[in-house]
């Protein structure tokens, strides 16, 4: 070893010891006869001190060290007179007697400290320098801790970690595939897995009973702010289980992780049906850190000559506690906010219950104070509260109201990052109508089992069939989702036919799975968690990128290695590919 200790471990207990440390020169300060250097490695920062009076040439040498030089030093651990109690090594410094420059460094393009001056692009281009910063380094350490905690828990209850292939076959379901041309089978392509779904099911047919994998998945989707074309899942599958068993097993995983990582007890997860989530939160991933539930006012508001609500399918209110004194300006601004195309409401109605007991609304032309009072009662409002009301087509209005609720939650400080509220959302619809393709799509994926009591509607009323599918939601973020699977060939065939596959297409694309179902497939089900997202949640950040060592940018590019990139004509020829020039 080039060093005797790391830069994070020496304390007052080591005073008097001769040590050797290696690391990067973070910064130096010349104070008259003394020079101080902060030496950094993954474990921390240790202060080095050089004295002009006792060793002038060494001090000169220290003054010449540039930022990010890699050095090795030897010296004696000494108690500091000016202590920094914020860091573990802050009570000591090293009185250096030798410096060895192991490697020089160009001046880094941004400062490698907690608060850097580097913009996103620059930091991504020099990600290896960015990772030297505590914030990014700590995020990667947290990720490793979440991975280890996951493995510990799952190993302890008999799950086996099994790798599945990365070069698989392209299928039309789900998102777009990334494809890889095959040189040995010209004109044919592999696809990178969007998830190991079919493989994990085959492992159940194979009798592996409990499988998991921390696995890279790939989806060639248009990137939204917090999406990565490649991401990691905690992918799991179990045999001989019902939904209840899966919920309990993975509730256990999340409790274990919270205990391990945050030392927090998140308790048992409440459960909510999809239908209730949509009705009371307007959203299938409700943030239940705060109430402000959606309340339908249809019965109370219709029939008073206010055309907008009379024509509306649904009229929905939320109660913003203590906001009756919102100014006209604030309300106008909120109205503009809901009218933005991303939210899509046509207008916003409000009603105040003032602190003095008076009631006032933006629609006083149509409604009396007594009317308003009934709205307030239905919403559980009190004096001092404000109702915000939207009307229109059910799905659109609920969605817009859900956005407004989250926005009000933010404005009122109700979405505290240090509070964690998890729940299960259950009973998703099996299918959703895709207007563009004019056919039913699987809401989860085509392998999800319908609820047995709903199977008979598969052909007559597909939209009403509920699935044995579940999502885990934490603080308004879907962290995981899964389902009980179909394990019977005939039902699987029927499902494909409802999804518009011909028998031939289904056989060609998923024959391997349906054939396997003929050889004793056990009842099975599973779940997958978005690992990057889970890490960002534990880390208290909105960005999954911070938790990925080498992420891609919003255009799906790795700006450090400059990928994707062109390939040579030679390679194209070998792959029998032609690119239009
Ligand atoms: N494979 C599914 C997904 O990636 C999860 C599951 O059903 O287990 O969403």
In a domain, 63, yes or no: yes
Last residue of a domain, one of 411, 433, 453: 411
Our CA angle for 571, 575, 578, nearest 5°, is 85
Residues 146 and 278 in one domain: yes
Residues 281 and 427 in one domain: yes
Cα 110 to middle of ligand 1, angstroms: 40
The number of beta carbons lying within 10 Å of the beta carbon of residue 404 is 25
Q: Compute the chain's Rg from CA coordinates.
A: 30
In a domain, 114, yes or no: no
> Which atom of ligand 1 is found nearest the CA of 469?
7
Determine which residue's CA is closest to atom 1 belonging to ligand 1.
197
- Residue 223 has a pLDDT of 74
Cβ of residue 482 lying under 6 Å from some atom of ligand 1: yes
Compute CA 469 distance to the chain's CA centroid, rounded to the nearest angstrom: 20
Cβ of residue 449 lying under 6 Å from some atom of ligand 1: no
- Residue 130 has a pLDDT of 96
392 neighbors 348 (Cβ within 8 angstroms)? no
Tokens of 14: 């080591």
SS3 category, 269 = coil
In the Cβ-directed half-sphere of 557, how many Cα atoms lie within 13 Å? Answer: 11
Residues 246 and 336 in one domain: no
- Residue 346 has a pLDDT of 92
Pair type for strands 386-392 and 230-239: unpaired
Query: Per the structure, how many domains does the chain have?
Result: 3
Question: Which residues contact residue 55 at a Cβ distance below 8 angstroms, ignoring those fewer than 6 apart?
Answer: 97
Tokens of 138: 């700590």
Residues 474 and 543 in one domain: yes
Cβ of residue 493 lying under 6 Å from some atom of ligand 1: no
- Residue 119 has a pLDDT of 87
Tokens of 230: 């490649």
414 neighbors 260 (Cβ within 8 angstroms)? no
- Residue 560 has a pLDDT of 96
DSSP, residue by residue, 123-149? HHHTHHHHTTSHHHHHHHHHHHHHHHH
| 149 vs 24: CA distance, rounded Å | 31
> Which atom of ligand 1 is found nearest the CA of 233?
4
- Residue 115 has a pLDDT of 82
- Residue 175 has a pLDDT of 86
Cα 280 to middle of ligand 1, angstroms: 26
Q: Name the burial class of residue 523, with classes exposed (0-12), middle (13-18) and buried (19+) by CB atoms within 10 angstroms of its CB.
A: middle
Residues 278 and 365 in one domain: no
- Exposure letters 540-575 (e unless 16+ CB within 10 A, then b): ebeebbbbbeebbbeebbbbbeeeeeeeeeeeeeeb
Q: List the CATH number of the domain containing 91.
A: 2.40.50.140
- Residue 224 has a pLDDT of 74
Domain with 536 in it: 132-176+196-286+417-548
Tokens of 89: 């090594």
Question: Which residues contact residue 300 at a Cβ distance below 8 angstroms, ignoring those fewer than 6 apart?
Answer: 371, 374, 375, 378
Residue of 467, 528, 532, 534 with the most ligand 1 atoms within 8 Å of its CB, for mutation: 528
Residues 62 and 202 in one domain: no
DSSP, residue by residue, 292-322? ---EE-HHHHTTSS-HHHHS-SEEEEEEETT
| 110 vs 67: CA distance, rounded Å | 11
Residues 147 and 279 in one domain: yes
| 46 vs 89: CA distance, rounded Å | 6
In a domain, 263, yes or no: yes
| 203 vs 102: CA distance, rounded Å | 50
In a domain, 349, yes or no: yes
Cα 444 to middle of ligand 1, angstroms: 8
Cβ of residue 397 lying under 6 Å from some atom of ligand 1: no
Q: List the CATH number of the domain containing 340.
A: 3.30.1360.30
Residues 273 and 157 in one domain: yes
- How many residues are listed for the chain in this entry? 581
Residues 136 and 261 in one domain: yes
Tokens of 58: 């060494």
Cα 511 to middle of ligand 1, angstroms: 20
Question: Which residues contact residue 336 at a Cβ distance below 8 angstroms, ignoring those fewer than 6 apart?
Answer: none
Residues 140 and 232 in one domain: yes
Residues 380 and 321 in one domain: yes
In a domain, 572, yes or no: no
Question: CA-CA-CA-CA torsion for 353, 354, 359, 364, nearest 10 degrees?
Answer: -100
Tens of pLDDT along 525-578? 999 999 999 999 999 988 899 999 999 998 899 999 999 999 999 999 999 998
In a domain, 211, yes or no: yes
User: Which residue stretches of the chain have pLDDT < 50?
Assistant: none
Tokens of 578: 């032609």
- Residue 266 has a pLDDT of 95
Q: List the CATH number of the domain containing 233.
A: 3.30.930.10
Pair type for strands 210-218 and 230-239: antiparallel
Residues 337 and 256 in one domain: no
Cα 10 to middle of ligand 1, angstroms: 47
SS3 category, 260 = helix
Determine which residue's CA is closest to atom 8 belonging to ligand 1.
527
- Residue 542 has a pLDDT of 83
In a domain, 247, yes or no: yes
Cα 407 to middle of ligand 1, angstroms: 30
SS3 category, 81 = coil
404 neighbors 323 (Cβ within 8 angstroms)? no
Last residue of a domain, one of 364, 381, 411: 411
In a domain, 96, yes or no: yes
**78 closest CA partner among 41, 36, 113:** 36
Cα 486 to middle of ligand 1, angstroms: 14
């Amino acid at each position: 070893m080039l060093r005797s200790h790391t830069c994070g471990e020496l304390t007052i207990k080591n005073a008097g010891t001769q040590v050797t440390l290696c690391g990067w020169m973070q910064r130096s300060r010349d104070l008259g006869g003394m020079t101080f250097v902060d030496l950094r490695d993954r474990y921390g920062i240790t202060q080095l001190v050089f004295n002009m009076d006792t060793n002038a040439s060494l001090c000169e040498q220290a003054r010449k060290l540039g930022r990010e030089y890699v050095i090795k030093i030897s010296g004696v651990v000494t108690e500091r007179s000016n202590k920094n109690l914020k860091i573990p090594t802050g009570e000591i410094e090293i009185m250096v007697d030798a410096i060895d420059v192991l490697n020089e460094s160009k001046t880094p393009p941004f400062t490698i400290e907690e608060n850097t001056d580097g913009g996103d692009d620059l930091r991504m281009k020099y990600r290896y320098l960015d990772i030297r910063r505590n914030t990014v380094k700590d995020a990667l350490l947290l990720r490793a801790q979440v991975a280890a905690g996951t493995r510990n828990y799952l190993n302890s209850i008999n799950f086996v970690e099994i790798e599945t292939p990365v070069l698989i076959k392209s299928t039309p379901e789900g998102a777009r595939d990334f494809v890889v041309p095959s040189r040995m089978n010209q004109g044919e392509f592999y696809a990178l897995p969007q998830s190991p779904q079919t493989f994990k099911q085959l492992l159940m047919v194979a009798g592996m009973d409990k499988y998991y994998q921390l696995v890279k998945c790939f989806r060639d989707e248009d990137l939204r702010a917090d999406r990565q074309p490649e991401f990691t899942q905690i992918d799991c599958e179990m045999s001989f289980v019902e939904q209840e068993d899966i919920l309990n097993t993975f509730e256990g995983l999340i409790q274990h992780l919270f205990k391990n990582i945050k030392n927090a007890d998140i308790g048992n997860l409440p459960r909510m049906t999809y239908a209730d989530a949509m009705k009371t939160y307007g959203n299938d991933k409700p943030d239940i850190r705060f109430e402000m539930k959606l309340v339908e006012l249809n019965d109370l508001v219709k029939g008073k000559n206010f055309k907008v609500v009379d024509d509306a399918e649904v009229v929905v209110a939320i109660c913003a506690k203590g906001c009756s004194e919102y100014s006209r300006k604030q309300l106008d601004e909120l109205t503009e906010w809901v009218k933005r195309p991303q939210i899509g409401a046509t207008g916003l109605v409000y009603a105040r219950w003032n602190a003095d007991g008076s009631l006032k609304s933006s629609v006083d032309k149509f409604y009396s104070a007594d009317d308003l009072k009934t709205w307030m009662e239905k919403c559980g409002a009190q004096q001092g509260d404000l109702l915000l009301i939207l009307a229109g087509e059910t799905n659109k209005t609920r969605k817009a109201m859900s956005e407004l609720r989250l926005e009000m939650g933010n404005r009122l400080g109700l979405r505290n990052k240090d509070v964690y509220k998890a729940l299960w959302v259950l009973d998703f619809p099996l299918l959703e109508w895709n207007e563009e393709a004019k056919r039913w799509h699987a809401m989860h994926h085509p392998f999800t089992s319908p609820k047995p009591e709903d199977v008979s509607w598969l052909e007559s009323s597909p939209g009403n069939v509920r699935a044995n599918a579940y999502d885990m939601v934490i603080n308004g973020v879907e962290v995981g989702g899964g389902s009980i699977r179909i394990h019977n060939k005939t039902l699987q065939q029927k499902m494909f036919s409802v999804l518009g596959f011909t028998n031939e297409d289904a056989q060609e694309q998923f024959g391997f799975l349906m054939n396997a179902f003929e050889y004793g497939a056990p009842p099975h089900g599973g779940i997958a968690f978005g690992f990057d997202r889970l890490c960002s949640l534990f880390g208290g950040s909105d960005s999954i990128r911070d938790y990925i060592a080498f992420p891609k940018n919003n255009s799906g590019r790795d700006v450090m290695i400059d990928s994707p990139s062109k390939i040579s004509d030679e390679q194209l020829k070998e792959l029998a590919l032609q690119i239009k020039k």
